[in-house]
């Protein structure tokens, strides 16, 4: 990995998880290029650099490929030091990680998805290609109008709890930013994104009924989201727009880079008892499990796994909600604890 290489972000405009990374880049003023991706599979650009992981966003920096918005943001925090978004106290840094977990794994995003406006003409949920693709992503569950209608009341109820929590605890004292910092922090990015998606995103218009949500019901949450959006827009103006790379120029650049990959240590004492350099596959254990990346495991820490693929690129994944399996084991060729 080398900072002489500008990051390349793989994203598509409708991807809310990509917005998390874009906001981060804009708030910090970090220049990047981008390689736009289709919102559905296949993604030949990513296949050309040996990435089987199917979720978006992804970021390459030189020979390193970083998967998952959480890992991308934490890498950028360490690769570009003196972050204006970092929290000063360990306790605040911990609260920020809890926000990340609350919104991503804790059910906020899953309940927000239940509120996607399936009734909109020309909306995503009227698009057969999108529905087919997401059915595969979700392991067979289809987002039919009936299923969406049935899930909506519970989604709304759960989101009301989330709005209420923010309104009556963190934001109750009238602070501008979620952890009372002077400027927006990482905690704002990690807390705000599903709320911004529901309240601001054009594709989500109508997702929140006014009689149960709205600025009257949750004035502080609404003001905070709008403040965040305005700040992001303001800071975005300060960085030069990304170069849009097509698949060919992206893979030419990524595969021919002569930079050295980031060195991530290997923990021999990891509970999975993996050996450095053995062949493994890595994939999400929540959804999108069929999107597997394979390669030699070269780095392993409590929070990160790194594999080297056939193209010589190092793919990095978080450990949380990711599985690592020896490839023979995945093919059912070895015996072991998984068979008990």
Ligand X SMILES: N[C@@H](CCC(=O)N[C@@H](CS)C(=O)NCC(=O)O)C(=O)O
- Burial class of residue 153, CB neighbours in 10 A (0-12, 13-18, 19+): exposed
3-state secondary structure of 308: strand
Question: Measured from the CB of residue 236, what is the shortest distance to ligand X in angstroms?
Answer: 19
In the complex, which residues of this chain contact ligand X (CB under 6 A)?
15-17, 39, 54-57, 68-70, 104, 137
Helices (H), the chain: 16-28, 44-48, 69-79, 90-104, 108-113, 128-137, 145-168, 186-200, 214-217, 219-236, 247-256, 327-330
By beta-carbon proximity to ligand X, the closer residue of 17 and 32 is 17
Nearer to ligand X, 55 or 158 (CB): 55
At its nearest, how many Å lie between ligand X and the CB of residue 67?
7
- Nearest-approach distance from CB 143 to ligand X, in angstroms: 12
Residue 228 or 320 with smaller CB distance to ligand X = 320
Please choose, from the candidates 119, 27, 75, the residue with its C-alpha nearest in 3D space to the C-alpha of residue 315.
75
* H-helix or E-strand spanning residue 65: strand 64-67
Whichever of 97 and 160 has its CB closer to ligand X, that residue is 97
DSSP, res 43: -
Q: Could you tell me the smallest distance in angstroms from the CB atom of residue 11 to ligand X?
A: 9
Closest to ligand X by CB, 15 or 257: 15
- Minimal distance, residue 127 CB to ligand X, in Å: 13
Position with the least CB separation from ligand X: 55
For helices 69-79 and 186-200, the axis angle rounded to 10 degrees is 140
């Amino acid at each position: 990995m080398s900072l002489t290489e500008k990051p390349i972000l793989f994203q598509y405009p409708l991807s809310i998880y990509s917005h998390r990374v874009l906001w981060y880049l804009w708030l910090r003023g970090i220049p990047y290029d981008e390689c736009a991706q289709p919102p559905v599979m296949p993604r030949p650009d990513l296949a050309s650099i040996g990435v089987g992981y199917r979720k978006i966003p992804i970021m390459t920096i030189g020979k390193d490929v970083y998967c998952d918005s959480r890992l991308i943001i934490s890498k950028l925090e360490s690769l570009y030091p003196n972050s204006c978004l970092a929290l000063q106290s360990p306790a605040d840094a911990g609260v920020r990680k809890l926000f990340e977990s609350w919104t991503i794994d804790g059910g906020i995003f899953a309940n927000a998805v239940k509120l996607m406006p399936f009734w909109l003409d020309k909306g995503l949920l009227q698009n057969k290609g999108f529905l087919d693709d997401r059915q595969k992503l979700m392991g067979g569950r289809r987002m039919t109008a009936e299923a969406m209608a049935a899930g909506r009341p519970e989604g709304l109820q759960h989101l009301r709890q989330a709005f209420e929590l923010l309104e009556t605890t963190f934001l109750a004292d009238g602070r501008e930013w979620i952890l009372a910092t002077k400027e927006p922090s990482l905690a704002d990015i990690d807390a705000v994104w599903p709320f911004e998606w529901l309240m601001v995103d054009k594709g989500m218009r109508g997702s929140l009924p006014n009689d149960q949500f709205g600025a009257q019901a949750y004035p502080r949450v609404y003001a905070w989201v709008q403040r965040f959006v305005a700040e992001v827009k303001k800071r975005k103006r300060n960085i030069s727009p990304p170069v849009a790379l097509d698949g060919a120029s992206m893979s030419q650049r990524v595969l021919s880079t002569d930079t050295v990959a980031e060195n991530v240590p290997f923990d021999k004492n990891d509970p999975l008892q993996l050996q450095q350099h053995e062949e493994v596959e890595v994939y999400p254990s929540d959804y999108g499990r069929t999107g597997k990346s394979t390669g030699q495991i070269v780095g392993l820490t409590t929070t990160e796994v790194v594999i080297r693929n056939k193209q010589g690129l190092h793919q990095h994944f978080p450990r949380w909600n990711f599985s690592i399996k020896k490839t023979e084991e995945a093919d059912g060729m070895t015996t072991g604890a998984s068979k008990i």
